[in-house]
Structure formats: structure tokens, C-alpha cells
Structure 1
């Protein structure tokens, strides 16, 4: 069962609609009991890093999530701020992140070479996938395009955790993967057939 983590942040319905269109069963999970049958997990997120982390911490779901991810090895993918939450910390706030993929979320505006770039980074952008990532099997190997809306980017400590780059004045990690833990800064649920294929790869591999 695909479970979409409902901790009060993120457009859960957009993911449910997409999976229904694919003919794939997916349900929201707002309690630890509803997470119990998960074979795949989606961690959505929008808005401010600290707000998202506080909502997750207050939801009562975090301990069960960590058991599923680290004990039962259930694959998980974080979307947008859900990806940023996988990091240790963020320029956007003071709360610690989950720390599941070591690194820090950085503001584009703190990069001197990006002075004058419009913020947020919004619109369609090509990805340069790593050949080692199963998320990009099929027609995603050749410069797929995804929709972005963000002012912060994940800067992992280990570059081996970067599954795909995008460029917005600098090359930045658009997708990170460490084993069965994944995060995407873009919005696959808004990215037409490229987003559909990415979710299919996540589900099937």
C-alpha cells in the first residue's frame, strides 16, 4: 500500500488523484496505525521548513515513520519541503531536520554568484540524472523536464547522494537518493508524463 503521510502540510489530494489516474491504490495516513501497512511512503511538504518540521514532530507519526524507514526499510520519497526535511538543518529555520540524508538546505540568496537572480526559482527546468538512480529508468534518462517552485536547495555532504542536478545560476541537487530514501525538490505531481514516470519507477523498483 502506498501511504501519503498526512501531517497537516502538503496537498495530499493531488497525489491521491495522480495515483487514482494510474490505477494504483494509495491512501493518506494521519495516524501511526494507518502507516502500518505501508510498502511505499510519500512525504509531501510546502511552505516554511520549521513549520513543516514542527507539524511532523507534533503529529505523532515520526517514530513510526523512522521505524518503517530504518527497521523495515520501506522506501520513501520526500517532495519539495518534504525533501528538505530529510536534511540535518536549513537556512530557513532553526529546528533540526530528520537527518536521514546528511546535508543542509541552503538559500539561493546566500550564494554570492546568484545576486540578482529572480526568486523563487519557478517554472520548468531540465534535470541531469545520475545513471545509477533507478528513479530515472525508462524515458527519464535523457534530460527530463520538471516543474519547480522554491528558494532553497538541498546541499548534501556526500555528492554520491545526488541522483539528479538542475541548474539555476548554479548546479544544485534537484533529486537526492541514499538507498531506499529519496527526495525531489521539483513537483512530479505537476510535471506531466515525466512526473508520472518518476512515481512509477519509485513504486516498481
Structure 2
């Protein structure tokens, strides 16, 4: 199995490469169209700022490519947010895979949301085999709103938000599975087994 990790100058990519290595999967970091198109699975990780990331994707026409992919695709953290319609972060139109808005957490609480939080309301094969009350590790100031069809797990920080999303071949997780111990390892394994 070959796995493409999309390179778009966002942070936290190396830890995803290490996670793939721990799971015995070969992964390559790339922004090459052909490599991404031929991959069995595609991972879209990242930490960073929405408008800068979208500018890079557009400069390489990766925004168009991502919308056309048919293989299992997994967005992580910023990757989840960019798969949504729009982000309040610098008023950024995003990829529109999920018809969901990304909003900033209210500033009356500590932002960013950093730390461990439970995954609730789980409804997907991607989440099979998890502990009864699984926890995942978060670092984010923005969150995807809930969607009645595409939210497959929720989490709570000041309010309920989409912890995981799924539509067709696209999956996405707000937390960092590569930093989420056994929970994250199980989710990544389930994704690789799709």
C-alpha cells in the first residue's frame, strides 16, 4: 500500500510520517499530482493558518486535485478545517467537501483548546475497536460546527463540535491521531484498512 501525505507547508507533518512508520506503512510527503493520484490512501495533516494554507494549495492546483480524489482521504486538524466550506480564520473560503463553517472558539475561555478530550456520539467504522470512552489530543483555536449527516463523532470544549467528519471517501479528524496514543493508533489503523 502506498500512502501520500500532502505537502502544503503546514506544520506537524513529521509526526504523521513517524506514525505511519510505527504502523508499518510506507508514506511519502509530496505535492506532486501524479504521486497523490496514484496513492492508495491520502493523508492531509497540518497545523497552521487557513488562508496561508489555502493560498499554497491553490498555487499548486492542489485544491482542485483534492476535490477530485476517489481513494480514502484523511484530513487531520487544519486538514479537517480546510475540507470545510469556510473558515472564520482570516475570512477564508476553503475546499467545500463538507458544507460546514469553521468558527473561532469564544474568547471568554482559554483559547487555543489544548489537551485530551473524549470522543462522543461515534457512528463510523473508522471508530471501531476504540475503548468505551476514548480520548484524543487536541490543539486548536477553531472548530467545525456540527452537521446532522457528516459529523461522525463529537467532542466538547465550551460547546459541542465536530470531532470527526465523513462524506464519501473523505474522512477528517480535528484532534491529532498521531499524538493520541492507543485511540489515535486505532483510528489510523482503521483508516489504513478501509
TM-score by length of 2: 0.93
Alignment match, 2:87: 90
Give the count of matched residue pairs: 193
Deviations 1:13-45 (CA, angstroms, capped at 9, x unpaired) = 211111111111111122112213211111112
Within 5 Å, give how 1:49-198 maps onto structure 2: 49-68=50-69, 73-109=70-106, 116-131=108-123, 133-140=124-131, 142-156=132-146, 158-198=147-187
Listed as ranges, the gaps of 5+ residues in structure 2 are none
Deviations 1:143-192 (A, max 9, x none): 21000011111015x41211111111211111111122111110111111
Residues 80-136 of structure 1, C-alpha deviation per residue, up to 9 Å, x if partnerless? 111000111111122310000101001112xxxxx63111111000111423x1110
List alignment gaps of at least 5 residues for structure 1.
110-114
Give me the whole-angstrom Cα distance separating, in 2, the residues matched to 1:155 and 1:139: 24
More helix by share: 1
Alignment-derived partner of residue 41 in structure 2:
40
Structure with bigger strand share is 2
- How far has the Cα of 1:64 moved from its partner? 2.8
* Alpha-carbon distance in 1 for matches of 2:49, 2:125: 29
How many angstroms does 1:61 deviate by? 2.5
RMSD between aligned residues = 1.5
The residue number in structure 2 matching 1:10 is 11
CA distance in 2 between counterparts of 1:92 and 1:65 reads: 21
TM-score under structure 1 length normalisation: 0.88
Query: Is the CA contact (8 Å cut-off) linking 1:44 and 1:79 kept in structure 2?
Result: yes
